[in-house]
């Protein structure tokens, strides 16, 4: 299920580069697609291999940070940018 409102981006932190460089290209694509799916649905997909699950877990804090920042921006907007 796609969420109507969601973050439109997430930071891919530079320290994740070493992890990505060690993955096969197809694995990398599957993990990144799972990251985007998580942003759209708020849920982790179930079609990942065990290795892809581990790699996805490395990105999960970044994805959660994107959601937290997005929710703070939404809340701030509701308050008229007042903290």
Per-10-residue mean pLDDT, the chain, length 83: 62 82 94 88 84 92 81 75 57
Q: Please tell me the distance from the alpha carbon of residue 10 to that of residue 49, in angstroms, as a whole number.
A: 23
Specify the DSSP element, H or E, that contains 46: none
Give the chain's domain count: 1
Identify the pLDDT of residue 43. 81
Whether 26 is in a domain gets the answer yes
Identify the pLDDT of residue 7. 65
What interhelical angle do 25-41 and 50-78 show, nearest 10? 30
Whether 2 is in a domain gets the answer no
Residue 71 Cα to chain centre, angstroms: 14
Length of the chain: 83
Whether 71 is in a domain gets the answer no
Domain extent, residue 23, equals: 15-65
Identify the pLDDT of residue 67. 77
Whether 57 is in a domain gets the answer yes
pTM attached to this predicted model:
0.71
Identify the pLDDT of residue 8. 67
Whether 43 is in a domain gets the answer yes
Whether 28 is in a domain gets the answer yes
Whether 34 is in a domain gets the answer yes
Whether 75 is in a domain gets the answer no
């Amino acid at each position: 299920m796609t969420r109507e409102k969601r973050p439109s981006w997430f930071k891919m932190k530079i320290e994740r580069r070493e992890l990505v460089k060690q993955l096969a290209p197809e694995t990398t694509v599957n993990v990144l697609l799972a990251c985007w799916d998580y942003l759209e649905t708020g849920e982790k997909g179930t079609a990942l291999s065990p290795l892809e699950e581990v790699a996805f877990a490395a990105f999960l804090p970044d994805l959660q940070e994107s959601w937290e920042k997005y929710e703070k921006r939404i809340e701030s907007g509701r308050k008229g940018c007042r903290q």
